[in-house]
Amino acid sequence: MQPTVPTEYLPDADISPEYVHAVPEAHYPHQINVVEELVDRHVEAGHGDRPAIKFEDDVITYADLQAQVNRLGNALVDLGIEPGDRVVARFTNRPEAIVSCLAVQKIGAVALPSMKLLRAKELVHIINNAEASAVIVYDQLLEEVENALPNLESVESVIVAGEDVDHDHHQFEELLADAEPELTAYDTNRDDLALMLYTSGTTGEPKGAIHTHRNVLATADTYARYCIEPTPDDVFGGNPPLPFAYGYGCLVTFPFRFGASTSLVENASPGDLLEATETHGISVLASIPTGFNQILSKFPDGPEAYDVSSLRLGLSAGEPLTPTTFNNFESEYGVELLDGIGTTEMLHIFISHRYDEEVDPTATGYPVPGYECKIIDPDTGEDLPRGEAGLLAVRGPTGIAYWNRPNKQADAIEDGWSLPGDIFIQRADGRFEYKSRSDDLIVSSGYNIPGPEVEAVIEEHEAVIEVAVVGSPHEERGEIVKAFVVLADGETGSEKLIDEIQTHVKQTLAPYKYPRAVEFVVSLPRTETGKIRRTELRDKERE
């Protein structure tokens, strides 16, 4: 079968990642549809009455989910959506978001989840770049879509979910009510596109990362299967947005792959997560380090105020997890947090500890089963020995593949290995220790200083709740280390506190790594996925 999308938008063979499938579970038949694997097979096996989605007080079973997916899939076909078409799904973390993505994939089209905070200008870029033919949107998020519509070049249909906003578009609920609940999945090839996610744009214009049906399944059959060890009794929950690769995996792919449940919490605050853990019985809680720190700071008596006995594991990604956060959360909640490194381009985590092994919170972990990782010299591409910092290179069942960005694609691949852009050290014991993003490396008086390494030490100070470290231009040294510090409630910035922070770093790390400048701020700039926008801080310093 021919690919269902224009081949000129896909990477050429010579700059494509080399895929390896080192675990047996990551071998798939040539014809496979991800929705048959995530939903239909559970119903066919007699498990249709098991809960698939828990949202507020509602429970959607696998049979209910299948029927909704089928109805929307039939409606999309009636609207003219064809295999390979890109369809935007713009929602908060609600069940309709999952139904929309799965319905799109089941008919052979490509789901493109969209972050809720994007403005019209950003939507125009993404939708036109993807040449999307339809948008499915929650009514509370419709305004920016309508603002973008005059400049959209390919959109033929807009479907609106919810009944609180007047509009002249198709009504999601009416389409479902009028459509048939039976639908045979399109006979997709395992290498047909299933999912498109746009990078958050922290280092420039957002780029479309493309993922096939077997790429999506492989994230569950490697990381989730081996590192989390899910069972049908698990309930996955957390606050990563569904359009975030981390959120899509933890809240859609992983639970459904193993017949488990997902708990969706709309616009989740720390209190919302704890309440959902109690009411939905969350056993695997996914968040970012900031989220876990907020739980600790805002709910120090959380285990007493909420029943969190269902928790067995926490997952952390998006930013480096510091040993301080790891130790504090384990002490208060009695569960370990598995840190992981993953990217939108690689779709999910490829380095992590495993649930059944001893976790060293000073390291990210080992390559996830099914992946290979090595450290290379960023200038020569040569392999570096253990103990030397260099550029991380990764190979496995997923890889970096961009939509219609040949120049960026060529930069991201080295001899078939994907280059996520992270600086790591591989220790003698095989663990990989994160140092920084390649663009977060501070060069001061000839010394290479990883910003996150300094951040982890500053965060150990009891007065500090969050910190970001960047290079600030300096006439003599080239750059100096500057720390932007958010203080805990009740703390006040002072010269004395700056001296304490600087002294602590000098006594913990090589003295040249200490922050020569410290600025106290109310908050740090972040992307919608929670990542600190260090680029914004660096730009501020350059100005």
Task: Give me the DSSP letters along 313-344.
Answer: EEEE-SSPPPHHHHHHHHHHHS--EEEEEE-T
DSSP labels for 372-390?
A: EEEEE-TTT--B--TT--E
Q: Residue 319 and residue 531: Cα distance in Å, rounded?
A: 6
Would 237 be classed as within a structural domain?
no
Model pLDDT, residue 144? 94
Model pLDDT, residue 203? 46
Would 538 be classed as within a structural domain?
yes
Phi, psi of 233 (to 5 degrees): -85, -10
CB 195 within 8 A of CB 242: no
Note the pLDDT tens digit of each residue in 57-69.
999 999 999 999 9
Give the pairing of strands 413-414 and 417-418: antiparallel
Model pLDDT, residue 446? 65
Closest CA to 286 of 318, 334, 250, 340: 250
- Residue 437 clears pLDDT 60, i.e. is over it: yes
pLDDT grade for 85, boundaries at 50, 70 and 90: very high
Collapsing DSSP to helix, strand or coil, 118 comes out as coil
Model pLDDT, residue 201? 52
Q: Residue 490 and residue 418: Cα distance in Å, rounded?
A: 45
- Contacts (Cβ under 8 Å, ≥6 apart) of 99: 65, 68, 69, 72
Chain-centre distance for alpha carbon 451: 21
Q: In whole angstroms, how large is the CA radius of gyration of the chain? A: 23
pLDDT grade for 345, boundaries at 50, 70 and 90: very high
DSSP labels for 504-531?
A: HHHHHS-GGGS-SEEEE-S---B-TTS-
Structural domain harbouring 517: 445-542
Model pLDDT, residue 1? 46
CB 416 within 8 A of CB 17: yes
Would 506 be classed as within a structural domain?
yes
Tokens of 95: 């069940």
Note the pLDDT tens digit of each residue in 228-260.
999 999 999 999 999 999 999 999 999 999 999
pLDDT grade for 202, boundaries at 50, 70 and 90: very low
Q: Residue 107 and residue 35: Cα distance in Å, rounded?
A: 9
Would 208 be classed as within a structural domain?
no
- Residue 293 clears pLDDT 90, i.e. is over it: no
Would 458 be classed as within a structural domain?
yes
Collapsing DSSP to helix, strand or coil, 146 comes out as helix
pLDDT grade for 200, boundaries at 50, 70 and 90: low
Phi, psi of 142 (to 5 degrees): -70, -30
- The CATH number of the domain holding residue 465 is 3.30.300.30
Closest CA to 180 of 44, 75, 39: 75
Model pLDDT, residue 238? 96
Would 518 be classed as within a structural domain?
yes
With a pLDDT cut of 90, the percent of the chain lying above it is: 77
Q: How many domains does the chain have?
A: 1
Note the pLDDT tens digit of each residue in 117-168.
888 888 999 999 999 999 999 999 999 999 999 999 999 999 999 988 999 9
- Contacts (Cβ under 8 Å, ≥6 apart) of 540: none
If you ran DSSP here, which 8-state letter would residue 488 be given? P
Would 525 be classed as within a structural domain?
yes
Kindly report the length of the chain. Answer: 543
Mean pLDDT of 340-359: 93
Model pLDDT, residue 103? 98
Would 485 be classed as within a structural domain?
yes
CB 415 within 8 A of CB 466: no
Q: Residue 235 and residue 252: Cα distance in Å, rounded?
A: 11
Work out the number of other CB atoms within 10 angstroms of the CB of residue 382. Answer: 8
Work out the number of other CB atoms within 10 angstroms of the CB of residue 526. Answer: 19
- Residue 479 clears pLDDT 70, i.e. is over it: yes
